[in-house]
Amino acid sequence: DIVMTQTPLFLSVTPGQSASMSCESSQSLVDTEGRTYLNWFLQKSGHSPQLLIQDVSRRFAGVPDRFSGRGSGTAFTLNISRVEAEDLGVYYCMQTTHVPFTFGPGTQVDIK
């Protein structure tokens, strides 16, 4: 199974500043057709997860352009520019290239 690791596990951010978190996979997430399926979700306390980014860098409908994803192969990054108070919660990366699909442990973001 693909193991996903995320760093850091905890991140404290001042509103208006930027934040960055990393996600690494134990094997390449490129499939046999050259596509990479890496997703980012945010789960706010007491709520269901919400999709932010799919296919490494494609923002889901309605997600502010403050959120951006990049990466390739086994190393991926989620950046949040101009963090807002509503951005607090746990951010998960998830690979959907190889079955069984797997999530990272999450990065908990709190707002200073």
Partner 1 sequence: EVQLVESGGGLVQPGGSLRLSCVASGFTFNNHWMNWVRRAPGKGLEWVAHISQDGNKKAYVDSVKGRFTISRDNDKNSLYLQMDSVRPEDTAVFYCAKYLGRGIDVWGQGTTVTVSS
27-56 residues in contact with partner 1 (CB under 8 A) are: 37, 39, 41, 43, 48-51, 54-55
Residue 85 backbone phi and psi in degrees, to 5: -60, -35
Torsion angle defined by CA atoms of residues 97, 73, 106 and 60, in that order, rounded to the nearest 10 degrees:
-70
CB 39 within 8 A of CB 93: yes
56-85 residues in contact with partner 1 (CB under 8 A) are: 60
Q: Which of 20, 68, 77, 102 binds partner 1 (CB under 8 A)?
A: 102
The answer to whether 25 contacts partner 1 (rule: CB under 8 A) is no
The C-alpha atoms of residue 57 and residue 29 are separated, in whole angstroms, by: 14
> Which residue, 16 or 46, has its beta carbon nearer to partner 1?
46
> Which residue, 25 or 97, has its beta carbon nearer to partner 1?
97
The answer to whether 24 contacts partner 1 (rule: CB under 8 A) is no
Q: 4, exposed or middle or buried, with CB in 10 Å at 0-12, 13-18, 19+?
A: buried
The answer to whether 106 contacts partner 1 (rule: CB under 8 A) is yes
Question: In the complex, which residues of this chain contact partner 1 (CB under 8 A)?
Answer: 1, 37, 39, 41, 43, 48-51, 54-55, 60, 90, 92, 94, 96-97, 99-106
